[in-house]
Each structure stands twice: as C-alpha cells, then as structure tokens.
Amino acid sequence: MAVIEELIRQEEDGTISFGNYLMDEKKKVLDFEVKGDLYKVKTYNEITKLEKNGKMLMEVVPGATIHKFSLTAKGAYFMVEGHEDVQLTLEMEPETEYKILIDDVNVGKVKTNMAGKVTLSVELQNNTPYVKVEKIG
C-alpha cells in the first residue's frame, strides 16, 4: 500500500482513504464531500485526524495512512499503515460495547464512555493490518 498523496480520496467501493505519515509539515484538506457529508483531514508524521461534518471520527498518533475506512451502524472498518505502532481514538456510539479484531483475530472488547470514544493500539510490524471495531449485540 502507499500513502495518500492527495491526503484524502474516495475509493471505488465507496470507502475513503486518508493521511500521509511521510510529511514533516502538517497539511489539511477541508470540505471533502462524500455522499453529502463533508470530511476534513489533518495529517503529518506526528498525527492524523479525520472529522466528518465537524465531528471527530478518528485520531491516530503518530501519523498514519488509513486505507478503505468505512463507518456503518455495526462499526468501523479500515487498514492502517505507518512507520511504527499507532494509537487510534475513534468516535463511536456512547456507552456501547465493541469487540476489536485485528486481521480477524479478536484482541478484546471495550465499552465506550458517555462521549463514545474507543482507544486502541495497533502493532504494525511492517504490515498493514485490517482493523474492525464491531458493535456487540
């Protein structure tokens, strides 16, 4: 996989890919429209953030490239690429339990707080793992 030179793009399957962890200076794209929603991405080697309609969806530290990001009623699905292991914070449904799968291996479950935040760490080890954060029940 490769970084997203245009910082954010819509893929043929309707998902979005965003972020560029190779940049030394922070760059952003505002008002990127997908299916009537406006996305904003800020990215560089230290952090990558994605907002949808003014609300935070994801923050990744250090910066990363997220491929094929999809958010549905069941959960969030994406691949993550970067120089080193990352910590991700996702905005999900408040007070809801989710299971975390990395490359289809169940690595645990977490219950969101009142704000709906889920935080997880992903070891990259020279690969681009597929992450699923799926609602339980």
pLDDT at 126 over 80: no
Report residue 113's pLDDT band, with 50, 70 and 90 as the boundaries: confident
Q: What is the per-residue pLDDT for 100?
A: 97
Radius of gyration of the chain from its Cα atoms, rounded to whole angstroms:
14
pLDDT at 68 over 90: yes
* Residue 107: Cβ within 10 Å count: 15
| Environment class of 81 (CB within 10 Å of its CB; exposed 0-12, middle 13-18, buried 19+) | buried
Domains and CATH numbers, the chain: 8-135 (2.60.220)
The contacts of residue 93 (CB under 8 Å, 6+ apart) are 112, 116, 135
- Report pTM: 0.94
Q: What is the per-residue pLDDT for 86?
A: 97
Q: Are 80 and 123 in contact (CB under 8 A)?
A: no
Q: What is the per-residue pLDDT for 127?
A: 85
- Per the structure block, which two tokens stand in for 109? 């479950």
The contacts of residue 98 (CB under 8 Å, 6+ apart) are 75, 92, 109, 110, 111, 112, 118, 133, 134, 135, 136
Residues 102-116, mean pLDDT to the nearest whole number: 93
Query: For residue 20, what is the DSSP state?
Result: -
Query: For residue 115, what is the DSSP state?
Result: T
